């Protein structure tokens, strides 16, 4: 620590050693602020001066007069008059040739030509062979990059004025005619004409009411959507509350599957042994039966007893096979519940074979008992009984062997696969339960904000629908009153109705709905909106200038004055002076922006913190680059400056740029400085300021690795680079 302080104080002493050094330091401190202030002032309120842009307007419209309305209407004149009162641009009324020539020469930034048939095209829109009315718009895109966009906004304004003037003209002309015709109510056809106009007014009322109904339908749809969102939120909460039950059930399933596996493994060998012993037992049964029949003539009672004893043994085999069949049936039910189709099919096959074995053994038991009865009765069919019993013994033994083979070759592999699948399913269900809980937690908080947005939209639609409905009601009432007055011959009432405020009514019909603009995190001026970009660039340029003026490496003479300095001590010791000058730059720039320019800052202290941290991070990054790569590091810093002009997102939205700019943007420190600065200036939303600051500070990690850990491995490359530069005789 002593070496760091000693090197820092020595650098500080050298910076104030003479007047020229002080002048250089002052210049380094002021230059970034001058760059920032100059550019921010230049674009402080540029769109307030759009009235200086000259746009030519040539009105060639000759007007139009229809047979139905014997009044000449010239919408082009009315549009031109409206533009004269519009100070958005400097509208110059001139001829068509001058307008086009002026746009080509650059005298005018754009030219608007209203053709001679404009009014006719507008007023005959309802005819089958009509053509769309058009306005010719010429723009000189060579003269300036921004001016065509600004004049384009003016062209949009013309389009709006034309549409508004068209609606007003149609309505006002109709109402003026009704007013004029009221003076001719005594004429024979006056009543018929006014009745026609009243009918037209009623038609307009119907159309407006239909529009109101459509908007109301959209509003109802939003209400239904809100109910759907609410129901979705409730389902999410229910799913979240039950996810714990799902996890518990999954654990029970895993435990049960493990128990089934252990039970199956422990009973598998026993079952195989039992089936094998049953098969072997039938060999001894066959021998016992043969011996009993051989001695049938001499030992009648003993032979019948032996046969009944074997029948009892066979009956025990029947009981064991029946128990086996029942156990396999229970296992089949469990496999079916788990959806293990292969295991179910295998179990069905062996159950059928076990049942067949039971049938064969039952037949053998009954045959043995019948043979014993025949021996006791001295029947002559004993030899036939012997043949039948021998055949049944063979069938019973074969059926038991078939059951044993089917279990070993078919059932047991499928049961093992089933147990493995149960374990996988249990693990998957556990992951799904965890995912369900996480998804429910993420989504449960979103429904309120969605419902709030839907409420606002529904309120706006309801208001628009009500406004249209009120206007439709007024027009419908006017139409009905006119028709009633005409029917009663009340000319005074007709005159009173037609002499109402025509201008106000036509304006209302032309624009029944107004757009209410609400700014979120509003900016006080365009200069404040551009300040984050120019200020961030100034901070980077200021940090680069510090490394141009200050040598980052500690000389041998300076090392000799230190006490066995370590590389990291020299690194931080030299950075101390750079950090101090960076602090001076950021403090001066912050005070100038806030007090001199009046840049908007909702959170001034956070604004100052952002400026200071950004200056320190930028200086640290460039210091590590120059220390590791010498002049090549300065070139890399300039490259970063070039990339950050666009990839920092300070002017155009990043979403408008090609994908490579989107990919590289998160790795540009200026991006996060601009985000944090905008939050401090216009308002913080959900800690976005602190998130941006955290991402900015993370850039210190790779810079520190470069300056402290990787600098020594790069030393050989740096020495080679310096030798090549010295050999070129172009730079030092």
Evaluate if residue 543 carries a pLDDT over 90.
yes
Higher pLDDT, 509 or 414: 414
Q: How confident is the model at residue 414, as a pLDDT?
A: 66
Rounded Cα distance between 378 and 297, Å, is: 9
Among 675, 670, 676, which residue's Cα sits nearest to residue 643?
670
Per-residue pLDDT band at 382 (split at 50, 70, 90): low
- Residue range 571-582: average pLDDT? 91
Q: How confident is the model at residue 106, as a pLDDT?
A: 82
Q: How confident is the model at residue 419, as a pLDDT?
A: 61
Rounded Cα distance between 96 and 113, Å, is: 6
| Phi, psi for residue 55 in degrees, rounded to 5 | -125, 125
Are 467 and 211 in contact, with CB atoms under 8 Å apart? Answer: no
Rounded Cα distance between 278 and 398, Å, is: 11
Among 626, 616, 614, 621, which residue's Cα sits nearest to residue 692?
614
Structure tokens of 541? Answer: 């340029």
Are 308 and 369 in contact, with CB atoms under 8 Å apart? Answer: yes
Higher pLDDT, 632 or 262: 632
Q: How confident is the model at residue 225, as a pLDDT?
A: 55
Higher pLDDT, 474 or 138: 138
Among 689, 410, 487, 562, which residue's Cα sits nearest to residue 3?
562
Whole-model pTM over 0.75: no
> 3-state DSSP call for residue 54?
strand
Are 681 and 600 in contact, with CB atoms under 8 Å apart? Answer: yes
| 52-184+502-510 is a CATH 3.40.50 domain | no
| Phi, psi for residue 64 in degrees, rounded to 5 | -155, 140
Q: How does strand 136-139 pair with strand 110-114? A: antiparallel
pLDDT tens profile 256-310: 555 554 545 554 555 566 666 666 666 666 666 666 666 545 545 666 777 777 7
Rounded Cα distance between 501 and 493, Å, is: 15
HEC string of 634-658 equals HHHHHHHHHHHHHHCCCCCCHHHCC
Structure tokens of 204? Answer: 């307009």
- Residue range 408-433: average pLDDT? 61
| Phi, psi for residue 41 in degrees, rounded to 5 | -65, -35
pLDDT above 90 covers what percent of the chain?
17
Q: How confident is the model at residue 85, as a pLDDT?
A: 73
Structure tokens of 19? Answer: 């007047």
The residues near 685 (Cβ < 8 Å, ≥ 6 apart) are: 521, 679
Q: What does the mean pLDDT of the chain come to?
A: 74
> 3-state DSSP call for residue 668?
coil
Q: How confident is the model at residue 508, as a pLDDT?
A: 47
Q: How confident is the model at residue 18, as a pLDDT?
A: 83
DSSP symbol at 45? S
pLDDT tens profile 315-340: 777 787 787 778 778 777 876 776 66
Q: For 46-55, 111-120, 299-308, which range has the lowest pLDDT when averaged over its residues?
A: 299-308
pLDDT tens profile 16-39: 888 888 888 899 899 999 999 988
Give burial (CB, 10 Å; 0-12/13-18/19+) of 192.
exposed
Q: How confident is the model at residue 24, as a pLDDT?
A: 87
pLDDT above 70 covers what percent of the chain?
58
Helix (H) or strand (E) holding 112: strand 110-114
Rounded Cα distance between 93 and 104, Å, is: 17
Give burial (CB, 10 Å; 0-12/13-18/19+) of 127.
exposed
Q: How confident is the model at residue 116, as a pLDDT?
A: 87
Rounded Cα distance between 628 and 567, Å, is: 12
Q: How confident is the model at residue 181, as a pLDDT?
A: 47
Most confident among 259-268, 501-510, 516-525, 679-688 (mean pLDDT) = 679-688
Per-residue pLDDT band at 506 (split at 50, 70, 90): low
DSSP symbol at 594? I
- Residue range 133-157: average pLDDT? 66
Evaluate if residue 379 carries a pLDDT over 70.
no
pLDDT tens profile 662-709: 899 999 999 999 999 999 999 998 899 999 999 999 999 999 999 888
Dihedral, CA of residue 86, residue 91, residue 94 and residue 99, to nearest 10: -140
Question: Cα 23–25–28 angle (5° rounding)?
Answer: 110
- Tell me the domain boundaries of the chain: 2-45+525-728, 52-184+502-510, 247-444
Sheet containing 54-59: order of strands: 90-93, 54-59, 110-114, 136-139
Are 182 and 499 in contact, with CB atoms under 8 Å apart? Answer: yes
**Longest Cα–Cα distance in the chain:** 148
Q: How confident is the model at residue 3, as a pLDDT?
A: 82
Structure tokens of 379? Answer: 């029947």
Per-residue pLDDT band at 604 (split at 50, 70, 90): very high
E strands of 390-522, at which residues? none
| Phi, psi for residue 8 in degrees, rounded to 5 | -65, -45
Question: Cα 212–213–217 angle (5° rounding)?
Answer: 120
The count of residues in the chain is 732
Evaluate if residue 622 carries a pLDDT over 80.
yes
The residues near 545 (Cβ < 8 Å, ≥ 6 apart) are: 28, 31, 32
The residues near 279 (Cβ < 8 Å, ≥ 6 apart) are: 397, 400, 401, 404
Higher pLDDT, 310 or 730: 310
Q: Distance of alpha carbon 515 from its chain centroid, rounded? A: 28
Q: For 5-9, 547-551, 711-715, which range has the lowest pLDDT when averaged over its residues?
A: 711-715
Higher pLDDT, 658 or 279: 658
Evaluate if residue 725 carries a pLDDT over 80.
no
Rounded Cα distance between 64 and 77, Å, is: 12
């Amino acid at each position: 620590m002593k070496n760091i302080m000693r090197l820092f104080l020595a650098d500080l002493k050298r910076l104030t050693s003479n007047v020229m050094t002080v002048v250089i330091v002052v210049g380094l401190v002021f230059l970034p602020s001058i760059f920032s202030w100059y550019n921010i002032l230049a674009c402080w309120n540029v769109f307030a001066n759009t009235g200086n842009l000259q746009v030519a307007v040539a009105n060639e419209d000759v007007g139009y007069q229809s047979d139905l309305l014997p009044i000449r209407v010239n919408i082009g004149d009315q549009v031109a008059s409206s533009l004269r009162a519009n100070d958005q641009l400097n509208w110059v009324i001139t001829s068509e040739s001058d307008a086009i020539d002026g746009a080509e020469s650059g005298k005018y930034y754009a030219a608007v030509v209203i053709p001679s048939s404009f009014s006719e095209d507008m007023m005959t829109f309802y005819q089958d062979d009509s053509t769309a009315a058009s306005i010719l718009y010429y723009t000189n895109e060579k003269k300036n990059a921004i001016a065509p966009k600004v004049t384009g906004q003016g062209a949009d304004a013309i389009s709006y004025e034309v549409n508004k003037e068209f609606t007003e003209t149609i309505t006002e002309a109709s109402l003026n005619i009704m007013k004029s015709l009221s003076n001719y109510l005594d004429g024979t056809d006056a009543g018929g004409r006014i009745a026609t106009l009243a009918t037209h007014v009623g038609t307009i009322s119907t159309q407006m009411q239909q529009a109101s109904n459509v908007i109301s339908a959209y509003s109802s749809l939003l209400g239904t959507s809100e109910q759907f969102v609410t129901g979705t939120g409730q389902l999410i909460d229910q799913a979240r509350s039950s996810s714990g039950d799902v996890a518990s059930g999954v654990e029970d399933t895993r435990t049960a599957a493990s128990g089934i596996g252990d039970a199956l493994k422990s009973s598998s060998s026993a079952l195989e042994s039992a089936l094998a012993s049953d098969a072997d037992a039938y060999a001894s049964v066959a021998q016992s039966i043969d011996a009993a029949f051989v001695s049938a003539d001499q030992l009648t009672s003993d032979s019948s007893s032996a046969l009944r004893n074997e029948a009892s043994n066979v009956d025990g085999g029947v009981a064991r096979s029946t128990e086996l069949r029942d156990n396999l049936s229970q296992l089949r039910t469990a496999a079916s519940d788990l959806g293990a189709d292969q295991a179910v099919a295998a179990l069905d096959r062996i159950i059928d074979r076990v049942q067949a074995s039971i049938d064969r053994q039952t037949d053998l038991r009954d045959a043995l008992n019948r043979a014993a009865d025949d021996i006791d009765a001295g029947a002559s069919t004993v030899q036939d009984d012997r043949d039948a019993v021998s055949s049944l013994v063979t069938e019973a033994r074969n059926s038991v062997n078939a059951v044993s083979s089917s279990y070993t070759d078919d059932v047991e592999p499928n049961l093992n696969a089933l147990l493995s699948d149960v374990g996988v399913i249990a693990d998957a269900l556990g992951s799904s339960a965890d995912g369900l809980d996480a998804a429910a937690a993420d989504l449960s908080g979103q429904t309120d904000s969605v419902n709030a947005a839907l409420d606002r939209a529904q309120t706006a639609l309801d208001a628009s629908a009500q406004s249209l409905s009120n206007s439709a009601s007024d027009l419908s009432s006017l139409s009905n009153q006119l028709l009633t007055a005409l029917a009663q011959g009340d000319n005074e009432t007709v005159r009173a109705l037609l002499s109402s405020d025509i201008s106000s009514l036509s304006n209302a019909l032309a624009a029944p709905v107004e757009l209410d603009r609400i700014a979120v995190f509003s900016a006080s001026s365009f200069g404040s909106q551009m300040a984050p970009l120019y200020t961030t660039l100034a901070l980077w340029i200021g940090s680069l200038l510090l490394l141009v003026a200050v040598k980052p490496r500690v000389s041998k003479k300076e090392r000799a004055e230190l006490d066995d300095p370590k590389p990291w001590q020299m690194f931080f010791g030299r950075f101390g002076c750079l950090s101090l000058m960076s602090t001076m730059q950021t403090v001066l720039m912050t005070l100038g922006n806030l007090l001199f320019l009046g840049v908007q800052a909702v959170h001034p202290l956070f604004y100052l913190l952002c400026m200071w941290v950004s200056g320190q991070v930028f200086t640290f990054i460039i210091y590590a680059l120059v220390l590791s790569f010498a002049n090549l590091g300065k070139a890399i810093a300039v490259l970063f400056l070039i990339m950050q002009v666009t990839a920092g997102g300070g002017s155009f939205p990043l979403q408008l740029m090609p994908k490579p700019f989107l990919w590289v943007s998160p790795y540009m420190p200026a991006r996060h400085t601009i985000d944090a600065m905008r939050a401090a200036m216009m308002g913080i939303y959900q800690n976005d300021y602190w998130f941006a600051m955290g991402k900015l500070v993370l850039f210190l990690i790779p810079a520190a690795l470069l300056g402290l850990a990787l600098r020594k491995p790069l030393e050989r490359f740096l020495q080679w680079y310096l030798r090549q530069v010295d050999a070129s005789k172009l730079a030092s």
